[in-house]
Amino acid sequence: MVITSVLPPPSTDNNSALIAILGAGAIGQLMYHKLSLCTQATQANDVMFIGRDKQTRQQELSFIDHTHYNHHILATILGIEDDRLTQVELLLVCVKAYQVEQALLPLLARLAPHCHIVLLHNGLGPHLPVTAAIANHKNQGLTLGTTSQAALKQNDWQVQHSGLGVTQLGHFCGPLMSPTLKARLNYLHSDNQPLEWHQPVLPVLWQKLAINAVINPLSALNQCANGQLAATQYQTQITAIVDELVQVAKCDGISLDKTAVIARVYQVIDLTAANYSSMYQDVTHNRPTEISYINGYICQQAKVHQLNAPHNQSLLDKVLHLSKYE
C-alpha cells in the first residue's frame, strides 16, 4: 500500500549555509529525501540539488520510503549561475563515477571557500583527480564514502527506497568536516543501521569495490538478479576475481582478508538477492556503465604494480564490448 502526504515547500533563507547534492539519480534523490525530511519539522530549506541549467527552478519530488509511505517535496534545483552556490558548505556528489571529474571540477571555485566535498559513487579512481584539484582550494576538504542502500527510480522525479543498507564515510584529504555538518550527515542512516565513519576509509572502499567487481559485471553479463550469483557455477570465478583484487590492493597498501571479503560478497548477494545491479540496469537501458572504475580500476592498479588480473580484465573487456558507449 502506498500512503501519500503532501508537504508544503519549506521557506527559503537566503543567508543560511546550504547542503547541495550533485546528481539527481536514484541515490542522489534518496540522499536528498533523507537529509531534507529531517528539516521539514523546522521548515529549514538548506538542502538543494545543483542542476545543469543556468536558471534555478523548483521541482516536485516523490519519495516512497521503505514503509511504502509516499512523501512529496518541492525541491530547489540551483542553476549554475545562482549566487547561492557560494553558500554551499557541504556538497554530496552522487553522480556516476565517470561523471565526477567533469561535473565537479568546474564547480569547486564557485562553492563556499571552505565547502566540504563528499564523493559517493561506485568504484574507485575519481578521488585522484579530485584530490589534485582540491589542493588548489586549500580550505576545501574531501570525504569519500559508499552506500549499500538501494533506491529505484520509477520515473525522473520518483524514487523508491528499495533496500536498507549501510552508508560508510571517511575523511580523505584537506580540512576535516565540521562537527555540525557531520551531525547533519547522520540523517543518512537507514532505519536500523547508523551511519559509519571509518579512518582510514580506503580499505572500506576496496571492500565495496570487491562487491561491485563481482556482482555488477556477472549480473550484467549473465542478465540475472543478484541472488542467482549464489549458484555454484559462479564460485570459481568469484574466488578468482576477489583473489586478484586482494593482491592488487595489497600492493596499493591495503590489506584485505580474502576469506572475509568473499564472505561479505556472498552476504550482499543474499541481502540483495531480488535486486538487479546498477550495471545490469545500465546495460539493459543502453546507458554507460561504471565498469572502468570497478574492474577497470583493479586492472589499472594491477598494471601499476606489474601484476596480472586476467579475470578482471576479461570482465572489463566483455562489459565494454556489450555497451555501445564505451
Which amino acids are annotated catalytic?
Answer: 208
- Does residue number 292 form part of the binding site for ligand KPL (CB under 6 A)? no
Interface region with ligand KPL, contact rule CB under 6 A, candidates 24-32, 102-110, 209-217, 314-322: 209-217
- Does residue number 211 form part of the binding site for ligand KPL (CB under 6 A)? yes
- Does residue number 148 form part of the binding site for ligand KPL (CB under 6 A)? yes
Least distance in Å: CB of 55 to ligand KPL?
A: 32
Least distance in Å: CB of 152 to ligand KPL?
A: 11
The CA distances from residue 152 to 20, 25, 115, 141, in Å, are: 21, 9, 29, 30
Distance between CA atoms of residues 281 and 233, nearest Å: 23
Closer to ligand KPL at the Cβ: 87 or 216?
216
Least distance in Å: CB of 195 to ligand KPL?
A: 17
- Of 262, 271, 165, the C-alpha closest to 227 is 271
The CA distances from residue 135 to 74, 88, 181, 286, 322, in Å, are: 36, 18, 21, 36, 37
Among 36, 87, 122, 140, binds ligand KPL (CB under 6 A): 122
- Does residue number 216 form part of the binding site for ligand KPL (CB under 6 A)? yes
Closer to ligand KPL at the Cβ: 99 or 226?
226
Closer to ligand KPL at the Cβ: 268 or 283?
268
Which run of H or of E encompasses 170?
strand 167-173
Eight-state DSSP code of residue 67: T
Least distance in Å: CB of 212 to ligand KPL?
A: 6
Cα 113–Cα 53–Cα 12 angle in degrees, nearest 5: 60
Eight-state DSSP code of residue 159: E
Dig out the grid coordinates for 111 from the structure: 562553492
Least distance in Å: CB of 215 to ligand KPL?
A: 4
- Does residue number 190 form part of the binding site for ligand KPL (CB under 6 A)? no
* Count of positions on this chain that bind ligand KPL (CB under 6 A): 12
For residues 260-279, which are near ligand KPL according to CB under 6 A? Answer: 268, 272, 275, 277-278
The label of the residue with cell 572502468 reads 292
The CA distances from residue 246 to 142, 176, 262, 307, in Å, are: 25, 29, 10, 12
What is the binding site for ligand KPL (CB under 6 A)? Answer: 122, 148, 211-212, 215-216, 226, 268, 272, 275, 277-278
